[in-house]
Structure 1
Amino acid sequence: MPQGSSTPPAGQAEIAAFVRECWRRKSSRPLPLVVLLGRPGSGKTHALDHFAHEAAGGITARIDFAPLPVQRPYETALLLAFQLTRKHPGVHPPRFPRLMLGLLALNLSDLPVDNRDAARKQLKAALTSARSSTAVGAAETAGGVLDNLGLSPVPNLELAAGLLVRGFTHLPAATVLNRALASYGQGSAQAGVEALIDLNRRARSGIEADTELVDRMLCEVFLDDLTASFAKRSRLYNCLALLDNIDRPHVTRFLQTLCRLRAEKARAGTYDPLLIVATAATTRAVPGPGDGSPDDPHIRRCDALSYAAWRPRPDGPPPDWWCPVRLRDLEEVEVALEATRYERERSRESGRPEAWVLPRAAPLIHRLTYGHPWSVRTLHDVVAALRDGQAPTDGDLRGLLRARPPRAGLPVTDVVHGRLLAGLTADQQEAALLVAAARTPRAAVNAGLLNDQPEHARDTLMRELRERLWLSRRVPEDAYTRGGRGPSGYLLTTAGSRGEPAADSTYDTQPVLHPWLRLLLLERLSAPPSGSLERWRALHSRLASWHQRQHHPLDCLYHRLAKGELQSLVDHLARGVGAADLTPWLRELYHVTAAPMYRAWLSDGPPRRQASELARELAPDAYADQTLGRPLAELCAALWLAGDPRNRLPLGNPELNHKISAMLRQVATAADADADTLLDEAIRYTD
């Protein structure tokens, strides 16, 4: 029997509960085809590992399609059937006599289809031979070897006959043969023989329509065998099929065939007991209009999963039987729990007490990766190796992305960059660097940044990023994202709110690149050999000019700041300090200071000194004004630095917070009408 519940991977508790709800067999009912969609490293395979552990000893099958050759749908059905028939103590596995009859007929290469009498005799002789003692031995031998090696069975005559015998082992031959044949002949065993002869003829015709019909017929009897195996037994669980990497077209064809058959049978109230949980790294594996955008209504969120919410109408179309679910990133508390779990694992392996170093680094790791599961684990490896269990210094953490993970010869940025962009061509990866320079990918395309790229990369990159789930909602830009306290998103506006200027682009619902991926791309774009300061400034000049032509003044300032034009931002903000309501002013401040920073501008000094140095270097005129210019320049420089969590050290009491809070209070002294808003904002950066 199955092992029972176990702890699901971090961030997947909702999915595990949903799968378990579907897997438990209360009665015959529709079952979804659950597809876990996620970027590389999002935990798809770990989810299948968890389900495999929970279902160990039950009727299960697990297939990774990545290393397998292209298969026809009926071959995939045979592979599933073979794995589902594995024996476990206390479990009666399903048998597949209908499927094996079809395979037997399919593999009779010399069946004389132009002579029906001779064909009948030869087919019946093959059925008799299949039950011989020789065939029984072949079945057990082949089955044992394939089980041990984890290989997929090749549907040849010998193995098909052997598996057919395994299906007949405990039942009288006449009963099983008549029942199985009748399923082909719509209630008549004699008509079933004729249907098998026709199946053989279609399989050899070479006509595409015949090939599709053969696949459909064999997939249908596969489901019929499963349904019949569960009809007269009281079972606590359904069958569970765990399918990894279904992105390949031939696998999708098999699953689409199953869903079409399920939808047809549901109209007669017939439901098979096969729960399929599959994984895919792109949305291309899932039928329908879903495209992977952040708010795609055709892809379900983890927190909205339930059987009641999924259950389709009995006459629902085939796409309704799919249940695509987007895996989510980890929350900060889950990153801390993963750090604790990781340290306990290391402690058990080394025999040394737990150092409790990693949980303290959880805020930094979460803000860097935004909870991307594989990246979190990779950074845990790096932090744990920095001082061999001792607390790393602030300098260690500030240079975290330049460190080298254990057993890796490359820096973290290169290792993670390669994993995250797996599946993209070299041209597409180069084009992704340019897209990262813009606030939104849409702006990069419209500004013409990809015009000089190879045609293939230019035409396919955005589709690939979207279908590979690398587009996300915009992160709210406020004190919370810069290391301050309090809620997130409190400065977001609402579209069309009264009094909002038409040119205000702080409310922008356009999808953005996942922040972790964008950070890695920007690191590469601003460092040799991919980048230079001249190239960096040229890209942002081009984007600033485009936004200016489109009448987006704040986005224009955003890219001018990325070039180093801090003085322009200070001049803009100085004109608005006297407004009666400074909430829109704060929104603009955070919006523009979210601009990326060229890495070579950063020194090894504490961020507090860097803010003053940046202000003096990049806004000398403002810095000379002690009353408003210098506080504004240092405030903007500090918030600009705080956009990267590596600058917000030491953890728990970052020096930048003191600088930002102090400068907000100084600017408040120059505010004519709404100093309270700035003073309240300053409090968000104090303990």
Structure 2
Amino acid sequence: MGIEGIEALYQECRTKVQDGRAGRGGRGLPVVVLVGTRGSGRTAALAWLGYLGSHRPHAFYDFASAGPRRPHEVAGRLAYGLSHRFARQPSLLFPRLTLGLLVVDPGLSLDANDSRRAGHQLRHALQDAHENNAAADRAADVAGLLQDLNLLQIPGIGLLAGLIRRPPRLPLGIARRTGFSWYAGPHTPVDELVALNRLSKSRTDVDRAAVDRRLCEAFLADLRGEYARRRRDRNCVVLLDNVDAEGGRDFLDLLVRLRDESGVPDPLLAVATASDTGRIPGPFARGPAGVWIRSPEQASHADWERSVPDPPPDASWHWYCVQLRDLTAAEVSQLGAGIADRLPEAPPLAHRLTRGHAWSAGRLLEAAARIPGRGDAEVLLRGILATPVPSAGDDSEAPPLDRVILRDLLDGMNEEQRAALVVCSAAREFDAAWDADLLESFTLRTRNGLARETGTRLWLVDPVPQDAGARGGRGSGYLENSHPRPLSGRPVLHPWLRLLLLQELARSRSRWDEAHEQLQVWHMLYGHPLDVRYHALALGQLDDVVDHLARSLTELPDTDAWLYELYAVTAAPLRTPVLPERTATLRVDRISAELAPRSFAERRALTMLVAALWLAGDPRNRLPAARPELNDTIGSMFQSLAMHSDPRRVGLRHEAAKYI
């Protein structure tokens, strides 16, 4: 997940406290947003940051699991978490917010015509709240707090019932002195609070926004006041999960707006997560995500400050998006440490299939853990995506694992969007699906929105280099742009998501053929020879592909150009990439003989090389990991081809060595 770089950014921002005040004279602190695909480990990363900061004031809030809350209600719940007493740390007090939350209690009505009586009502309500805060006796409110703040993770915490109705505990004198004085304005504090109470009864959007604004101002003012009153060595932290859910933007937009207007830094580090960058108003950037995103290795407070234009055109500069990376092979191996002794091939297979997508790798490892460690374990691993996943209490036929995972990854998309995405998976580059009119049978709304939805959900990535490293051999990236007419390099679907979508497309032979035929014609029309052969191979036209590669072996200027073409074409999807009960090595001869009888007889080495590389494109055909089964066939065919081709093709021998 790249948590090391994110951890460094987190610690850097937490420690930017000067003389008890948060970074005066600078830009203050960014709103750090951890972005990633659904299942990329965003919540886990947030939990880890919470653990790292567990000895200083911090609070957690999940906008997806909590009910819809107005900004001032979110501020109240965060104040509750931040006001918890931490060892050797003075508690944070929120007198301004406490008083404001009390005033907007729906059960409190202050007399707008008699300020003396209103003051008496307010003092009486404040006294009652102070006395009632001594016990937490309402189970429903306690359950709500547990859900909103995830307080079960904080050992020994005492819950206060009805936070919004009964604000955080604090001495009564502080609430009166500090709270009342802050609300003073053109009128007396009592008159201002009476006006706030009246606004809270209104149902108009303008009045509701005014209440939210005033109480969030109080929240920030309390934090600044506490850091000015007592020296502290860390900024306080709020961890906000799923800010792209309902209510998340409302709270953070108001927080950013108040920061922008005040120009005064505050000691609050907000770290949020989102899977939809379309809901993040950060600085604009070209590309499918539509927002400026940094990798964990690039992320730092200085990098954020350097990115701020001078002068800033709007408030978007406050946001700083950092994308979680996929897990490395070593990290997936750690996840699967419990089954590695019994099934050593499971962790590397899970990594190769998912490309390190955290949640998906975990699901595959769970499925692998149920595989018995006997002689047919390799067969079961090859068929792991077809493993039935029964639902509790459901007597219907259990769906295969690949469909269950795909459904969860595309959660939030409607059925037509999912069906359209399945069709799009036939295209090598995502944009080609639109250019070739693959979606003409879908509604205009789906056609217009799908590309944006896929891009902002971060499912579009840079292409994976097609070379020996992508087929089980050694080396990656060494053929980049070696061809006279290389591929465009436009964004592609995440390889794991595309694999799942292609399996869905392959369940209908007619849909598979129709999509690839349409793409083949379009690429032919616009002069993309590599893609024409790519879709020809996807359609099983192996004879035609071998004929083309035989000609280009002598026509292209050097071996690297031909190898680039060979790998680009054999990256085509195979409608039935895996037969669990039959090894890929045994399938090479059969595929070659069935799909290309003429070439198999005339150009046996080249035909088997193309078939072997085609099969090796699927990670399940590369077992065992230490010595992928197709490597011998691929290396031997490269050697045989080098012996019978143009003498200048010594590069074919070098390529064969990458599979030894």
Q: Distance in 2 between matches of 1:307 and 1:194?
A: 43
Alpha-carbon distance change, 296 to 682 in structure 1, aligned in 2, over 3 angstroms = farther
Are 2:499 and 1:476 aligned? no
**2-structure distance, mates of 1:203, 1:64:** 25
2:564 corresponds to which residue? 587
Separation (CA, whole Å) in 2 of partners of 1:143 and 1:318: 43
Residue 600 (structure 2) aligned to one of 623, 640, 647: 623
Residue in 1 aligned with 2:360?
375
- How far apart are the structure 1 equivalents of 2:225 and 2:7? 28
Residue 514 of structure 1 pairs with residue 494 of structure 2: yes
Matched residues in 1 for 2:117 and 2:305: separation?
46
Map 1:551-590 onto structure 2 (within 5 A). 551-579=527-555, 580-590=557-567
- The aligned residue for residue 157 of structure 2 is none
CA distance in 2 between partners of 1:358 and 1:60 (Å): 41
> CA 1:285–1:557 in 2, change beyond 3 Å: closer, same or farther?
same
Inter-partner Cα distance in structure 1 for 2:342 and 2:211: 60
State TM-score, norm by structure 1.
0.85
Tell me which of 658, 681, 684 is aligned to 2:632.
Answer: 658
For 1:282-331, what per-residue CA distance to the aligned partner results, in whole angstroms no more than 9, with x for missing partners? 11331045589468660111111112212376975522221111111012
- Work out the CA distance in 1 between the residues paired with 2:124 and 2:592: 89
Letter in 1 for 2:15: R
Q: What does 1:666-685 correspond to in 2, within 5 Å?
A: 666-672=640-646, 674-685=648-659
* Distance of aligned partners of 1:322 and 1:509 in 2 relative to their CA distance in 1, 3 Å threshold: same
Contact 2:439–2:447 (Cα < 8 Å) also in 1? yes
Assess, with a 3 A threshold, how the Cα gap between structure 1 residues 543 and 608 changes in structure 2: closer, same or farther. Answer: same
Q: Supply the distance in 2 between the matched residues of 1:407 and 1:371 (Cα, whole angstroms).
A: 26
Tell me, yes or no, if the aligned pair for 1:472 and 1:511 is still in contact at 8 Å.
yes
Supply the RMSD in Å over aligned alpha carbons: 2.9
Alignment partners' CA distance in 1, 2:580 and 2:371: 21
SS at match of 1:599: coil
| Structure 1 range deviating more: 586-595 or 270-279 | 270-279
Q: CA 1:516–1:290 in structure 2 vs 1: closer, same or farther (change >3 Å)?
A: farther
Unaligned runs of 5+ in 2: 149-160, 393-397
How far off is 1:238 after superposition? 2.0
1:440/1:511 contact within 8 Å kept: yes
Q: Are 2:167 and 1:163 equivalent residues in the alignment?
A: yes
Tell me, which stretches of 5 or more residues in structure 1 are unaligned? 1-9, 344-354, 495-499
Question: What does residue 365 of structure 1 align with?
Answer: 350
Give the C-alpha shift of residue 422 in structure 1.
1.2
Is structure 2 residue 382 aligned with structure 1 residue 398? Answer: yes
Q: Please list the CA deviations of residues 609-654 of structure 1 after superposition, one character each: whole Å capped at 9, or x if unmatched.
A: 32122111111121221xxx22111111111111001112233222
Q: Aligned partners of 2:587 and 2:521: how far apart in 1?
A: 29
1:19 has 2:10 as partner: yes
Q: Please give the per-residue CA displacement for 1:442-495, whole angstroms capped at 9, x wherever unaligned.
A: 111221111112444333222211111111110100011000012x1111118x
What's the CA shift for 1:177? 3.1
> How many Å separate the matches in 1 of 2:472 and 2:224?
57
Structure 1 residue matching 2:413: 3-state secondary structure? coil
**Alpha-carbon separation, structure 2, partners of 1:441 and 1:613:** 32
For the pair 1:251 / 2:242, whether they are aligned, the reply is no
Residue 72 of structure 1 corresponds to 70
For residue 136 of structure 1, what is the aligned residue in structure 2? 130
Structure 1 counterpart of 2:511, which letter?
Answer: R
CA distance in 2, matches of 1:466, 1:19: 27
Identity of counterpart residues, as a percentage?
39
CA distance in 1, matches of 2:273, 2:354: 22
Pick from 412, 420, 424: which aligns with 1:435? 424
Taking a change above 3 Å as real, the CA distance of residues 39 and 600 of structure 1, as seen in their structure-2 partners, is: closer
- Pairing 1:272-671 to 2, within 5 Å after superposition: 272-288=266-282, 290=284, 293=287, 298-311=292-305, 317-340=314-337, 342-343=338-339, 356-387=341-372, 393-404=377-388, 409-486=398-475, 488-493=476-481, 501=484, 504=485, 506-527=486-507, 531-532=508-509, 534-579=510-555, 580-599=557-576, 602=579, 604-625=581-602, 629-671=603-645
2:237 aligns to what?
240
Q: Is the 1:283–1:291 contact (alpha carbons within 8 Å) kept by the matching residues of 2? A: no
Q: Are 2:212 and 1:215 equivalent residues in the alignment?
A: yes
- Is the 1:404–1:410 contact (alpha carbons within 8 Å) kept by the matching residues of 2? yes
Taking the aligned partners of 1:89 and 1:592, their CA distance within structure 2 comes to: 62
SS state of the match for residue 630, structure 2? Answer: helix
- Shift of the alpha carbon at 1:607? 2.0
Letter in 2 for 1:168: P
Deviation readout 1:508-543 (Å, 9 max, x if unpaired): 22111100011011112112xxx12x3321221111
In 2, Cα distance between equivalents of 1:391 and 1:138: 67
CA distance in 1, matches of 2:137, 2:477: 58
> Which deviates further from its counterpart, 567-576 or 10-19?
10-19
Aligned partners of 2:296 and 2:322 also within 8 Å: yes
Distance 1:359 1:185, change over 3 A: farther
| C-alpha contact 1:481 1:643 (8 A) present in aligned 2 | yes
Distance change (3 Å), C-alpha of 1:679 and 1:460:
same
**Structure 2 matches for 1:190-209, cutoff 5 A?**
191-209=188-206
Distance 2:119 2:147 in 1: 28
Alpha-carbon shift at residue 22 of structure 1 (Å): 1.8
SS in 1 for 2:533: helix
Q: Report if the CA contact (8 A) 1:566-1:618 is conserved.
A: yes
**1:602 CA drift (Å):** 5.0
Structure 2 counterpart of 1:125 = 120
> In the superposition, relative to structure 1, how do residues 21 and 391 fare at CA in structure 2: closer, same or farther (>3 Å)?
farther
In 2, distance between residues paired with 1:601 and 1:43?
Answer: 29
- Preserved CA contact (<8 Å) 1:139 1:159: no
1:197, distance to aligned residue in structure 2 (A): 3.3
The CA deviation at 1:74 is: 1.5
Match of 1:167, SS state, is coil
Moved more, 433-442 or 211-220: 211-220
**AA partner of residue 546 (structure 1):** W
Question: Could you tell me which amino acid in structure 2 is paired with residue 121 of structure 1?
Answer: R
Q: SS at the partner of 2:501?
A: helix
Q: Which residue of 2 aligns with 1:350?
A: none
Matched letter for residue 440 of structure 1: E
Answer whether contact 1:290 1:299 (CA < 8 A) is retained.
no
Instruction: Answer yes or no: is the 8 Å Cα contact 2:429–2:493 preserved in 1.
Output: yes
Matched to 1:654, the amino acid is: P
Contact 1:479 1:684 survives alignment (8 Å): yes
Q: Report the secondary structure of 1:677's partner residue.
A: helix
Aligned to 2:47: 49
In 2: Cα distance, 1:318 partner to 1:401 partner:
46
Matched-pair contact (CA < 8 Å) for 2:635–2:656? yes
Q: Which residue of 1 aligns with 2:152?
A: none
Q: CA deviation at 1:159?
A: 6.3
CA distance in 2 between counterparts of 1:603 and 1:309 reads 49
